[in-house]
Every structure is written in C-alpha cells, then in structure tokens.
Amino acid sequence: MKVSVFLFFLVLTVSCKSYFNNSSDTYKKTDTLVNLWHHKDSFLDSIYGISLEKWYNEKPKKINREIIVATLDGQIDLNHEDLQGQFWVNKNEVTNNGIDDDNNGYIDDVNGWNFVGKPNGGYYIYGNFESVRILKSSDKKYSTDSLFAKEKARAELSTNSKIEHYKRGEKTMKLFDAFYEVINDSLMRYFPNGKYTYNQLDSLYNIKKINDKSFAARRNNLDSDIGALVFYKMSMINFRLDSRKIINDRVAEMDSILYRNLGLDFNERKYIGDNPEILEKGYGNSKLNEAKNLRKHNTEVSSIIGANRSNNIGTKGFHKNIKIMPLNISTSGDEHDKDIAMAIRYAVDNGAKVINMSFGKEFSLHLEWVQEAFKYAEEHNVLLVHSSGNNNFNVDDNPFYPNDVEFLKNNKEEVVQNFINVGSMSKRVDSTMVSSFSNYGKNNVDLFAPGEDIYVAIPDNQYKYDSGTSLAAPMVSGTAALIWLYYPNLTVQEVKNIILESGVTID
C-alpha cells in the first residue's frame, strides 16, 4: 500500500523559496511529559510529523497580517485559557445590542454564528441522521428521479440497520442494569476484597463456563452460574460500565438515538423555527458556548490550529496570527446540508481563507446546496479542508459527505479545485501507519496527516490525547493558513497544489 503522507517542512521548503478517543486522561499544564509528536520532523526526529517545531527553530520573520480559519463544528469553549486572543472578532459588530450593526444578516455575530441555535438564544442537542431525513422528505421528489429513488432505498436500509443495532444495545444495557447488583455481590464470593483483574476474570470464566447452556437460558440462575456472571462482568468492563449511573446514562443515550436521531416523527428544526428547504440568512443565534456537552470537539480541533504558543500551558497551535472563526452546525446527529452551505457562505463573506470541516455523514439530502457553496468559496479563493471519516472504509466506493464529487450521477470528476480530503496517520512507521479507523481512497482521500494520539485542549481548561480524522484535518488547515500568512498572493489552487505535492509517498 502506498500512502501520501503530509510533511509540513516540505510545504514550507516549496513555498518559502521567494481533527477516536485514545485516552480518558486529562492534564492541566504542559510539562516535559507532553508529546507533541505531530510537530516533529522526519529527518531530525525520525517521526513523520509536520515539522512545525523545526520551522520555528529556523526563526521565521515576524508577520503582522492575520489569517482567519473557520471551523464548521459544534460549540466551543470560548473561555479556554489556551485559546484566549485566538478568536476572530467581528470589529463591525457591537456585542449584545440586538442590532445587525454590519448588515451582514446576522445579529450580534461578534465571534461567529450558531446555525443550530434557537431563536431565544438556547440550543438543542439531538438531530436526525441524514438517512432519516431522506426517508421523511417528499415522495414526489424521489418518484421522478430514479437516482434519488435508489438513494432512498439505501437510506432505508441504513436506517433500519441502525435501529436494530441500537435496539440490541439498549436491550444489553438494560440487562446490565438488571443484573448489576447480582453480578457484583456474587463476585465477592471469589474476590472478598472486591479487587480483581480482567485476566483473573477471564481465567475464572473459562474454568466455570457451561458450554451446553445458552446464556439466555442461564440468566434466571445468574447468581449461581459463575460462567455467565463473569461473562457479563467482563462485557461491562469492555464497555467501561464501572457504575450503575453510567449504565443508566447509556440506556438514556440509546433511547435518545432511537427516538430522536432515528425518529421519523422527531423534527429538530421546530426548535429553530426556520424552513430547512430554503437557503436563508439570519436563523440561529450568536451563542457559541452555551451547551457544555457540545463544546469538546470544536475545542479540540481549534486548539490544533490556534492554541496559544507562548503561554507555556496546554498545547501549541500554528501561529498567533491565525484566528479561529467558530461556526456551529453540529449536534448529536447529522449536520443539515442547509447549515453546511450557509456556514461556508458566512465564512467566505466574513473573511475566512480556510474552512475546516471535521465532520461527515454517509448521506446528503441537498448535496447541490453544499457544492454550490464550494464553488462560491472557490470563486473567492478560499480553501476547504475535510476529514475523511472514521469508518475504516473506502470512500471511492462508499460516499462520505460533504465531498467534491457527484456520486449519485456516477460522475467521479471533481466539481471544484479548492477541496482537500484528509485521512489520519499515526507516528508508527510500519504497515499500521494509516490509522485503523481512518477512511481511505486512492481517488478521494488526498493525503494523510497526523491524527492519532494528538495532544489537544478540551473544555474547562483541560487537555488530553485524542485520535480521529477530525484531528488530522486541522493539521492541513493550519498549514494552509500559515502558507497564506507569509504568501498572501497565492491562489487557492496554488496553496492546494503546494500541500499535495509536498506529500511523501511511503510504500
């Protein structure tokens, strides 16, 4: 397998000739144990990072101009210590005066806009999956188009499969809840001090299990059937269910997915009050950090691009003059194509040069809206950077949206030349270099960038290592912004080509 690996040093060599949770640990301050491996250099450190550390050691000249990177994502922790001074500020807007001072169609948009906010300033958490929206959309539209009819059939298959999957998950969680006390009390007979390792449980399970009975038949005598009991305890450990509260939270989560994300009768847009079938300005609100449980992802992504480099805490971004424009489009569920399209247009109209899109979905109801916004960005010399997704499938065969090709028309030609799709790679230099979770595709994944074990900021002034293609995309977004920061006259096609041509092919 040949992999095109993105090396930042080569990018700057060319241009300077004239974003999976891998750990639950959190850390407060930067110290010698923090590993920013993605900033390392392949030649100096034998690590395929982006060579940002090497570039700074060469003492680049000071730059006064600023570059704006829009992050189309969830909400964000605007008060995070490592992001202070790094947000875009709309200088033509007065804070919280209820007036659209700059007449851009958005009231009080001082730092960005929440396209999934309620008119009263609130927020909602759950939205449908896109496959469900396709099933709920007008039958008339599909009855006149055989390609969309085929897509509707695929959406129905996907929706039904997810329903069955989450129903099984809900049933399992309820089973764990019902037997939680029995399992823990019974294990005290074998481990009186309440302490045991996973390997001890595994050995006990293999000794005590009864092969001639199904687990279903053994549940009534669970407290006396140590084989079944230990099997369930091991399963609970695998699911990280170390308290009954966590189990109950998982049951509630499954319920929300089944009856909201997958609910044909659930209409999340009623909370916004807009018409999701019409492109329009002004819906949503200016509140970017109200939902505490929706702030983590964008905080992580934005910290890779713009975290403070000189405060000696947390992580480090690319440059102090790269400013983040947070645009909220994500909830628990799939993003609306309307919100994606309108957020792209907002970013372009308000000065962003790079748009980071660390999200994705397997269906797109209004791809034409999104791709028209792509073209709008291209016309205004703006780069779009997208994460390839964490499904471990080939996106040449399985579409993952948004993208710059038209799968439904069997036309795999790119519709724009300002779009980069980014997969995730690790610091390993062997056959596992491409992250196991990363989507791939010879034609539709342009390159791979660091996306595993990345040290990032998370809400409430905390930090952690995390993984995902969502963290690989901002590596490219930050680099594009840095190139433009020093070479503002480059076209978007030139910046894209510099990045792609700097990739190293590793066999």
In this predicted structure, the answer to whether residue 488 has a pLDDT above a threshold of 80 is yes
Q: Mark residue 401 as left, alpha or beta (left: phi above 0; alpha: psi -120 to 50; beta: remaining).
A: beta
Q: What are the tens digits of pLDDT across the range 86-96? A: 999 999 999 99
Q: How confident is the model at residue 224 (pLDDT cuts 50, 70, 90)?
A: low
Residue with token string 């300077």: 16
In this predicted structure, the answer to whether residue 190 has a pLDDT above a threshold of 80 is yes
Q: What are the tens digits of pLDDT across the range 16-61? A: 323 334 444 454 554 445 789 999 988 888 889 999 999 999 989 9
Q: What are the tens digits of pLDDT across the range 98-153? A: 999 999 999 999 999 999 999 989 998 999 999 999 999 865 555 556 777 888 89
Instruction: Work out the widest C-alpha separation in the chain, in whole angstroms.
Output: 78
Q: Which of 7-21, 63-77, 162-176, 204-218 has the lowest mean pLDDT?
A: 7-21
- pLDDT, position 145: 65
Percent of the chain past pLDDT 70, that is, above it, reads 87
- Identify residue 491 by its one-letter amino acid code: T
In this predicted structure, the answer to whether residue 289 has a pLDDT above a threshold of 90 is yes
Q: What are the tens digits of pLDDT across the range 375-390? A: 999 999 999 999 999 9
Nearest to 66 by CA among 501, 428, 481, 490: 481
Burial class from Cβ neighbours inside 10 Å (0-12, 13-18, 19+) for residue 104 reads middle
- pLDDT, position 11: 40
In this predicted structure, the answer to whether residue 221 has a pLDDT above a threshold of 70 is no
Q: What distances in angstroms separate CA 255 from CA 161, 212, 435, one per listed residue?
A: 16, 34, 31
- pLDDT, position 407: 66
Nearest to 327 by CA among 366, 364, 355: 355
Q: What is the mean pLDDT of the chain?
A: 88
In this predicted structure, the answer to whether residue 446 has a pLDDT above a threshold of 90 is yes
Average pLDDT over residues 176-183: 89
- pLDDT, position 70: 98
Q: Which CATH class is domain 3-127+283-506?
A: alpha beta
- pLDDT, position 386: 98
Q: Domain limits of the chain?
A: 3-127+283-506, 146-261
Q: Rounded distance, CA 147 to CA 158, Å?
A: 17
Average pLDDT over residues 158-181: 93
| Contact (Cβ atoms closer than 8 angstroms) between residue 380 and residue 492 | no
Average pLDDT over residues 217-242: 75
Burial class from Cβ neighbours inside 10 Å (0-12, 13-18, 19+) for residue 58 reads exposed
Global pTM? 0.89
- pLDDT, position 182: 86
Pairing of strands 383-387, 354-357: parallel
